[in-house]
Amino acid sequence: MLEFDLIARIRARAAVRDDVVLGIGDDCALLAPPPGMQLAVTMDTLNAGVHFPPETAPYDIGWKALAVNLSDLAAMGASPAWCTVSLSLPEATDAFIDGFSDGFLSLAQQHQFALIGGDTTQGPLSISVTAQGLIEPGMALRRDGAKVGDTIWVSGTLGDAAAALAQWKHGKTMHPTLRARLDRPTPRVALGRALRGIATSCIDISDGLLADLAHICRASGVGACVHATALPASSALCEVFSDDERYRLQASGGDDYELCFTAGAERSDEIHALALQLGLPLTCVGKIEDGHQVRYDDVDFAMTEFGYQHFVNTFSSKV
């Protein structure tokens, strides 16, 4: 499988958008951004053995590589537009390429997300994606707008992906619901769009709630108080782990790709209505306060675990 064949195969299945003047096949793609819109741009890489277990199915690798980038667009309130992908593979088998493309492109199609370029190289399994979205000027959900007195919210349930990973690391069979959350996270694109004008700050939970909320606090110059017992948990998580274990997984576990956002306390009814409209739980888990730290008010954990940091914790070194 040569580079040119691989690109051609993916190209044949890429979504079509009117604002793509020239897609895959030249030195660059050419895009005509809609007048007056700003661009939101993000780039994230997944390496085998660091960001996913080496035995992850090719479909799920393709899905997740795109999902983590869509999640960053969601966290800004941006509408997905175009992406490029760089795929490093030790050996390009049909089975891998087909599975990877299926996962990647099926998620892309759900969001009218056009694959406009990229490359393939021989090397250890690694996928880099650059994603671009569109956002109205001044409407982006940034990290630096949280105010003292704002309520803190999270979407969906927390800790599921970390729970699956914990099972995997202990050699156990992963619970299928938890595993699905690890392998095929759902980027909260519609929620991000709906939060424009409501949220004062927003971030996606990739490194763990406490670590990501700490990013908001640092950027906004505030502190946060979180109710551990209020953190939303799936029934699968409660089934497999004790309360103490699940609090830790929910607070420190990464890879959920839910959104954490803040909003004025007077917006709570609107946010509850939004949850019903989207069919997605939105839970108030705490409050922004004066200070510089993220603390629990109801569980006595040593707050040393501040989320996932590359070069410290990897799939191989984590225990």
Sites of contact with a second copy (CB under 8 A): 1-4, 21-22, 25-33, 35-36, 38-47, 49-51, 72-73, 75-76, 78, 82, 84-86, 88, 92, 116-124, 126, 128, 130, 132-133, 135, 137, 140, 142-144, 202-204, 219, 309-312, 314
Identity of the residue, 12 or 269, whose beta carbon is nearer to a second copy in the bound complex: 12
DSSP 240-266: HS-HHHHHHHHHH------EEEEE-GG
Look up residue 279 and give its two tokens: 């069919």
User: Could you tell me which of 150, 104, 156, 146 has the C-alpha nearest to residue 128?
Assistant: 104
Euclidean distance between CA atoms 239 and 177, whole angstroms:
11
**In the complex, minimum distance from the CB of residue 269 to a second copy, in angstroms, rounded to a whole number:** 27
- Give least dist CB 11 to a second copy, A: 13
Of 312 and 319, CB closest to a second copy? 312
**Structure-token pair, residue 308:** 């996932």
Of 92 and 275, which has the nearer Cβ to a second copy? 92
The structure tokens 């959920």 sit at 256
Residue with tokens 């088998």: 93
Q: How far is the CB of 98 from a second copy (least distance, A)?
A: 16
Q: Are the beta carbons of 71 and 257 closer than 8 angstroms?
A: yes
38 vs 106 by CB, closer to a second copy: 38
- From CA 268, how far away is CA 140, in angstroms rounded? 20
Q: How far is CA 286 from CA 78, 202, 207, 214, in A?
A: 25, 14, 19, 13
Min dist CB 312 to a second copy, Å, is: 6
Question: Minimum distance from CB of 261 to a second copy (Å)?
Answer: 11
Nearer to a second copy, 199 or 228 (CB): 199
